[in-house]
Amino acid sequence: MGHGKEKSIKLKKKKVWKILDGTYKKPIGKEDVERLIATVQQECYWDDRDVETWDAIQNKEINWGGQRARSKRRPRKYIRKRS
Q: Which pLDDT score is estimated for 60?
A: 87
pTM of the model: 0.56
**Residue 79 exposed, middle or buried by CB count within 10 Å (0-12, 13-18, 19+):** exposed
Q: Which pLDDT score is estimated for 55?
A: 92
Q: Which pLDDT score is estimated for 26?
A: 80
pLDDT in tens, 2-60: 565 666 666 666 666 666 666 677 888 889 999 999 999 988 889 999 999 999 999 98
Q: Which is more confidently placed, 69 or 73?
A: 69
Contact 47, 55 (CB under 8 A): no
Can you tell me the distance from the alpha carbon of 69 to that of 63, in angstroms, rounded to the nearest whole number?
Answer: 5
Which three-class secondary structure state does DSSP give residue 52? helix
